[in-house]
Chain A
Amino acid sequence: MSGIISYLKENKTVLLQQQAASWQDAVKLGTDMLVEKGDIEPSYFESIIEKSREMGLYFILGPGMAMPHARPEDGVNSNSFALVTLKDPINFGDADNDPIDLLVTFAVKDAKFQNEVAIVQIVTLLDEEDLVERLRKATKWSDIESILNDLEGLIENE
């Protein structure tokens, strides 16, 4: 099963230093790339927005960091990941963690892969201060490639 490193290297679903008018637009930058690849349906984005309305901003992980995702049954064709950084951070409405400038989107086919591989890999990345700092400053693909290479040594299940 391929995880975030091999997926991003193969598909380059990465947008750096973007601008977004709203938090919904910021989330859509990530999901649009996966729709384009055919890995998710457009309904996946709608599900994220709808769930946030119902349950609050469940996908905010920490200061400046979001991990937009819905559920396997919300229109996932295959396991996929996308990375978006924002030039100007945006307020999502989570006082503890706003403003957000780092979004790691994922879509997975099953809950076990989600909990034990996808999320674990993403938070391993986001818990490494050095990698997060480099991610925020990244302007080109080679910056991301070098971060992914360094992440490779930190995760088990790739």
Chain B
Amino acid sequence: MVEREIQVVNPTGLHTRPGHKFIAEAKKHSCDIFVQKGDKKFSAKSLLKLMKIGISQGDLIKIICNGEGENAALENMCEFVANLKD
């Protein structure tokens, strides 16, 4: 299992539009991927679960990958969040 903490920088946070893209990106990986903020931790592959966390600009979130290709998945997901512009 690998994990990294990252700050959400895009002005609108991980709401529906970026959320949809985030889920699509996560689904490309076969390993389990989770997002955690505070004590809320949910699968990164379900939009409903991701939206339950409630992520805004400036929030620190932890991305956790577990399973086949976990290192590449972690790199990819962190890069995705860092590059969000919307």
Contact = CB atoms under 8 A, between A and B. Distances in A.
Interface of A: 55, 58-59, 61-62, 67, 69, 111-112, 114-117, 119-120, 122-124, 126-127
Contacts of B57: 111
Interface residues of B, number: 18
B47 A119 contact: no
A59 B56 CA distance: 18
A119 B48 contact: no
Given A58-B17, A61-B47, A67-B16, A115 B52 contact: no
B6 interface: no
B12 A61 contact: no
A58 B20 contact: yes
Nearest to B42: A127
Given A115-B54, A115-B56, A120-B51, A58 B12 contact: no
17 contacts: A62-B47, A62-B48, A67-B16, A69-B16, A111-B15, A115-B13, A117-B54, A119-B15, A119-B16, A119-B54, A120-B52, A120-B53, A120-B54, A123-B49, A123-B51, A127-B48, A127-B49
B69 interface: no
Contacts of B49: 123, 127
B56 A111 contact: yes
**Interface hub of A55, A111, A123, A126 (most chain B Cβ within 10 A):** A123
A122 B54 CA distance: 11
Interface in B28-60: 47-49, 51-57
A62 B50 CA distance: 12
B52 A59 contact: no
A59 B47 contact: no
Given A111-B12, A115-B15, A61 B51 contact: yes
In order of increasing CB-CB distance, the 3 nearest A-B pairs are A116-B54, A123-B51, A120-B54
